[in-house]
Each structure stands twice: as C-alpha cells, then as structure tokens.
Structure 1
C-alpha cells in the first residue's frame, strides 16, 4: 500500500492528549506510511507558528493569553482565520483533507477539497449538537440561548450538508453510525472507530507489578453532571453496608468544581465520606496504578442518547489491567463484555451496581478469571496497532475510489 499525506484539522490544544489522536495518528498510522500535517490550538501566547511533533508538522494559530470576553472573541476569530488559511495552503501538498469535530473548518475543508479534487473526510467523535441541547435544558439566561443556537445551527450543517457530502465519515461507535443514519447520513459512508489502549499502557502492564488492595473499587473518568454519578455513590453505600472494609477511589474531576463537591457531599450524607477517596485528575500512569490496585473496577455510563454513542476508554483500560468490570447496559459496553466475558453488565441503577460488585467480591476466583479474559480480549481487539489497520485500509479504499 502506498504512503499517504493528509492535512488534519482538530480542536485539541497542542500537544494532543487524546490517545485516538496522539497514539493512533502520531504513532500507529505513521508506521504504516501516513504523513499527517496538523492544525491545533496554541497553548501559549505568541505568533502563529509551525513546529514538529514526531517528525510531523503542526501549525498553531496566533494566540493572546488574556482574560475577558473581548480577548476570547479575538482568539476565537484568530483560530478560525488560521484554520481557514492552513486549509487553503494545504491544497498543494495534501492528498486528503480531514477535519475532526468542527463545523466551520469542515465547510472550508470540504470546499477546498472539492476545488482541488481530493477526498474530504470528517471525523466525528462526539454528538456535540445533542450535548448542547442537553446542556440547554439545565442552563438559564444567555447560556441557555447560546447552547440552543449552537445546537440548532450545527445539526443541519453537519448532518444534512457536511457528512452527506464527505467522501467518508469516521464515527465513534456502531451506535453513532445508527444514529447518524437516521439523520440521512449514508451508512456506507461511515466507519466506526472505537477507543483503544495506548502502547504505553501495554508497557505499564508488562513492567509494573501493583499489589491488589482487598475491597478497593476504582472509577476512572470525568465527574461531569451528565454522567449522573450519584448512582455510584448510592451503590457504594449499599456495598459498604454489606462489606465494611470496602473503599471507593474516584479518579477524575468535574468540568466545574461544583460537580465534584456535590458528589463529596452526597458521600457524606450517606455516612461513607471516610470510605470514598476523590483524587482529582492525576497523571495517567498514576491513574493506571490506582486502577491496577483495585479488586473491582466500575464503568457507569448514564443511558442517554448523547452517551449511548460513546466508546468508553476506561472500560478498555480496566480490561488491559486485568481487572473484573462492573458496567451498565450500553451499546458499546454490552457488546464488549458479551464478547470478552470480562465482567458483569447490569441495568442502570444503584441496586444493580451494588449487587454486581458484591457478587465479584464474594466470588474472587470467577472475578480473577473475568479479569484475565478481559486482558486477552483487549490485546487482540483494542490496541491502536489493530485499530490503525482498519483506518489505514479505509484510507486506501477512499483514495482508490476517488482516483
């Protein structure tokens, strides 16, 4: 298969921390011959610049790090301007243009690709318009107006124009493909790309021996209100009443301080504040070390249309660490647990989560067997080298069809 040069415009701040960006494109696809030229957000004040990341060129916009609404607007306009400028410049070097989770850049990229006669690909990792609508339901005043306008402008542009006219659309999950097909995006134009595990985690598993702490339950991830993690606190209260030495470690934080504070208060109200440890965000290897010390790991994903299309990274991480998992019924989680046998998948609800965790504590041999099955399955199906093969083959198909 021939090498390929693409231009990829993303909304991430440099350097990218998402593994489906840094690991998939920066490492696994690069080994197959993909040369990616990037556009990302600038993390520091300064002029527009072009720098190197893993021998790949990254374009950064001019950015002025000052507070206030005026500077926020200026920086937003600068980001759009340099995005458009680099999309236009890339027409003479890129063989394919790809945009991730952006609307204005997608319109410009699609136009440039059509002028140049090269493929345009859209990468859709999260249903942002639907998330804005959910946020609008609980917001007030100008924030509510902002969320509603954002959603109602983006939905028709993305679902009725950008995606149908793209040469291909990479989506986060099989459920997202089903959801977008309802809006009219052709199913044969979409390929689900689930979240995977970075090579760094495989190295961690192979070299770090972590002592398991009896009774420890670990949750990794965001504490954002949309996740409805009150159910986890309530479930743990039931577990603790049955198993007094049980401890819950929550690794992560909310989007705003109040989201974490509300969970801390709830734990105190249940009388289990002393048994719940909120670590906040920690370096990734420290998070893995904490999860590796767990007897049971949990992955609650609140069943809403927005989150049903997710591909949870935490589930793959738990499994790679050889931990038995308790999760709730969810398109991606259910399919993964059914295929791997790595844990228990239950309906949403505190009683269901609690019963599953208690069962794993009381059946340690079966729990260890589940953990071992999960580690084997992830190594076969969720490494980024394996995922890169799917993406690379699709790029080759796109290029052949376009030619």
Structure 2
C-alpha cells in the first residue's frame, strides 16, 4: 500500500482489550496484512486475555468508574498523547464517541493528518431514545438526558462529521441515512459485520453434548437478549411453534446485559409455560455457543424495526449462514440484503405468526432447508468474512491516506 508501514491512532468506545470482532479481527489480524498498524486508545472494561500485537494499546481510565462518561475525553487525550509518543499517526480515527470525536478532529488538525470517524451505531439517536423512555419519569433526569442528546446532536452532526475526511459506517442503509442528512456519500465506506472464516468453519466445531436436545427439532437464537431488543418476541414464536410442532426446542444461546434482565427472561419462560420448549443457556464461551448452533435446524434473527436498528448490520444472520444453518430473519435493510443476495433463508416481517410459519416451513421442507444450507457458507466466504471486509477497509485507507502522502 505504502512504502512504509502506516499507523492509525484509534480511539474506541468499547472496552479494552477489545472483544468485538470488528476491532479484534479487522484491526488486530487483517489490517497488519496490508501494512497498517493500530494504536488503540480507550478505557479498560473487558477481561479479554489477548495482547494487542497489531500496534500498541493505551488504556487510560476504566468504564467501571462512575465518572467514566465525564472523564473519558480527558482519558482519551492522555491515551492519544501516549500513542503519538510511540508512533506518530498517519491518521486519527474515533469510533462512536462524541466529545472524543471533537478532540480527535482537533488533534488531527494540529498534527496535519486526516481525521476519520467510524460510526457503528447512531449514538445520538440512542441518547434520544433513552430521553424519550424517561419522558414519564423523573423530570430532572429527563432534562439531563435531553440536554445530553441535544448537545450530542450539535457536536456530532455540525462539528465532528463535517471535519472527517472519511466516515466508515455499519451498513449501506446507514450510508444512505447519513447521505440524507447532507453528508457526501463518496466520503463513506460501509463495513457490515462479518465472521472469522476459521472460527465459523462448521467442520471444526464440535456439536454440544446436551441430552436436552436429543429427539428435539432444535431452533437456535445466538446473541444477547434484552427488553430493548424485544427479546420476549422469541417466546411468542416459541409458543406458536409448540402448538404446531410440540417437539420443537428453541435454544437461546446468549446472555442479558444485567442479572435483572436475565431474571426477567427466565420468569417469562415460566410464566408462559415454556420451560419444556425454550432453553436459555446464559453466557457461553464462543465455542460452546457454536456447539449448540450446529445442532440446530433453523436459525432465528429478529431485529426490531426503527431508526436505531434499521441502520445496523446484525452478526447472527451471517453467522448462521456461515455455519450452513437455514435462517429466518426479519426485514431490516441489511438482513433483507443478505437474504436476497445469498438465497439462504427466508425474510419475513417481525411478527410471531410470520416467524413461526417460516420456521415450520424450513423444518418440514427438507429439500428447501438443504438448498439454503448449501448456499450460506459459499456466500459468506465471498462477501462477509473479515478477510473480504479487510481488503475493502484497506483500500479505503489507501484512498484516504494517499491524499496525505
């Protein structure tokens, strides 16, 4: 790409060491193949054991601190100075942070290098959703969230993004959404969620030995559960499947963001009389979760419609396809694109009846299910592995930084 290795100072919102594949794999494994090193800057908060061999990692502050939201920009400044001392950056990139986004833009201007923003989530709209959730509650708390949302909107859309030489976004839908706000589509690159081809090679995964699955028609949901994700929808689907095919077992291989939410999920299973038809595993190591997945006949990926999720790129559907699991997903834009392009699943509205009908169709029509299972892995290998996505991102950096060479 360049005659000398490139270095990106990358301020991230997620806890360090990184655990998300779109940081850990994309920047930790793929970017070094193209001569791009990454100096990660952020706060501690994960128990990931992996060292960062793709550059340096500068951890200042902790996300566990009650003052983290206020002090994070100052911590990021210290981390950025540490990164600069170790390797003068060829660009400064900020992911999903607002105040630190403004800081990154100013630091880039001071150093005379490009500023890049990585938007994996519409964070301002998330703040506004939280504000609206509090509308009937504590007025003082509502006012605080309203002020945060208003100030964040001003900073990100008037000061941060206009100063970015390039914006990486989560999906083509997010790119169109930002373009509608007046941002140049040519300055954006969509980087949807992908999979590590080696980790999601079905031949390497050992099916879980769990007697509760024996003799059952297993349907899988991989990933987190939460009220905000309308996870109770899965129980609505399970209840309809129970009536039509009693041997169905829905395995929910994932955890909730809090013990209270997990208790609520387990309580709902009992209240609805679904204890013999829904298995909620709680948190599992990735290998164990995939061991459940490969025993499933159908994968489910319901994602609520709305501003926050319509611009997202869910991982679970791509994971199912990579594992050769016929899938049922609802019609948020990225999932619609994946289903239409791959021909490896059914896309329906997020209604319990529609999901149940589509699931039953796949459980009953073995020829259709086999055709979907055969198409998924090949499509993922051609479109959504981090090897493929890494090439796309590296080419974008080549374009961004060639103007600064």
TM-score, normalisation: structure 2: 0.90
Cα distance, 1:134 vs structure 2:
1.6
Aligned pair in 2 of structure 1 residues 33, 334: CA closer, same or farther (>3 Å)?
same
| Residue matched to 2:73 | 80
**1:241-252 residue pairs with structure 2 within 5 A?**
241-252=243-254
**1:371-390 residue pairs with structure 2 within 5 A?**
371-390=373-392
| Residue matched to 2:185 | 187
Cα distance, 1:229 vs structure 2:
2.2
**1:97-246 residue pairs with structure 2 within 5 A?**
97-139=92-134, 140-141=137-138, 142-203=140-201, 205-210=202-207, 214-246=216-248
CA contact (8 A) 2:205 2:287 kept: no
CA contact (8 A) 1:159 1:184 kept: no
Tell me the SS of whatever aligns to 1:393: helix
**1:4-403 residue pairs with structure 2 within 5 A?**
4-43=6-45, 53-62=52-61, 72-73=66-67, 75-76=68-69, 78-88=71-81, 90=83, 93-139=88-134, 140-141=137-138, 142-203=140-201, 205-210=202-207, 214-403=216-405
Tell me the SS of whatever aligns to 1:13: coil
Cα distance, 1:91 vs structure 2:
5.1
Tell me the SS of whatever aligns to 2:303: coil
2: CA distance between counterparts of 1:382 and 1:198?
9
2: CA distance between counterparts of 1:64 and 1:24?
23
Deviations 1:206-231 (A, max 9, x none): 32353896411111112121211222
CA RMSD of aligned residues (A): 2.3
Deviations 1:96-137 (A, max 9, x none): 111111112111111111122211100000011112222222
Aligned pair in 2 of structure 1 residues 143, 314: CA closer, same or farther (>3 Å)?
farther
Deviations 1:224-250 (A, max 9, x none): 212112222111111111111111111
2: CA distance between counterparts of 1:293 and 1:63?
39
Deviations 1:32-66 (A, max 9, x none): 1111111121249xxxxxx961152111114597x
2: CA distance between counterparts of 1:144 and 1:41?
27
Which ranges in structure 2 are unaligned for 5 or more consecutive residues? none
CA contact (8 A) 2:122 2:308 kept: yes
Moved more, 108-117 or 162-171: 108-117
2: CA distance between counterparts of 1:42 and 1:259?
24
Aligned pair in 2 of structure 1 residues 361, 52: CA closer, same or farther (>3 Å)?
closer
1: CA distance between counterparts of 2:245 and 2:104?
56
Which ranges in structure 1 are unaligned for 5 or more consecutive residues? 45-50, 66-70
1: CA distance between counterparts of 2:349 and 2:109?
47
1: CA distance between counterparts of 2:332 and 2:401?
34
CA contact (8 A) 2:128 2:149 kept: yes
| Residue matched to 1:48 | none
CA contact (8 A) 1:329 1:347 kept: yes
1: CA distance between counterparts of 2:103 and 2:83?
12
Deviations 1:245-273 (A, max 9, x none): 11111122222334333333333343222
CA contact (8 A) 2:96 2:118 kept: yes
CA contact (8 A) 1:10 1:39 kept: yes
Aligned length: 391
